[in-house]
Amino acid sequence: MAKKKLFFANWKMSLLPNQAVELAEAMVDKIKPRADQAICLLPSFSALSLVQTVAGKSQLQLGAQDIFWQEHGAYTGEESALTLRELGCSSVLVGHSERRQYCHETDEMVNKKVKTCLEHGLQPIICVGETFEERKDGQKDFIVMQQLEKALSGVKLTKFDRLAVAYEPVWEIGSGQAALPDEVWYTLQVLKQLLLNQYSPEVVRDQIWLLYGGSVDADNILGLFGHPVLEGVLVGGSSLSVDNFNQLIQASS
Ligand code: PGA
Is 72 designated active site? no
Instruction: Quote the pTM value.
Output: 0.97
Query: Facing residues of 125 across strands?
Result: 93, 164
Whether ligand 1 lies within 6 angstroms of the CB of 248 is answered as no
pLDDT at 89: 98
**1 confidence band (pLDDT: 50, 70, 90):** low
Mean pLDDT computed over 58-68? 98
Closest-lying ligand 1 atom to the alpha carbon of residue 98: 8
Sign of CA dihedral 99, 104, 106, 109: negative
Residue 1 CA, ligand 1 centroid: distance in Å = 29
Residues 6+ apart with CB under 8 A from 214: 129, 168, 169, 172, 173, 175, 178, 179
Is 168 designated active site? yes
Whether ligand 1 lies within 6 angstroms of the CB of 236 is answered as yes
Residue 214 CA, ligand 1 centroid: distance in Å = 5
Q: Which of 79, 96, 98, 130 is catalytic?
A: 96
**Span 18-49, pLDDT tens digits:** 999 999 999 999 999 999 999 999 999 999 99
Provide the percentage of residues in the chain whose pLDDT is more than 90.
98
What residue spans define the domains of the chain? 5-251
Residue 97 CA, ligand 1 centroid: distance in Å = 10
Q: Does domain 5-251 have CATH number 3.40.50.720?
A: no
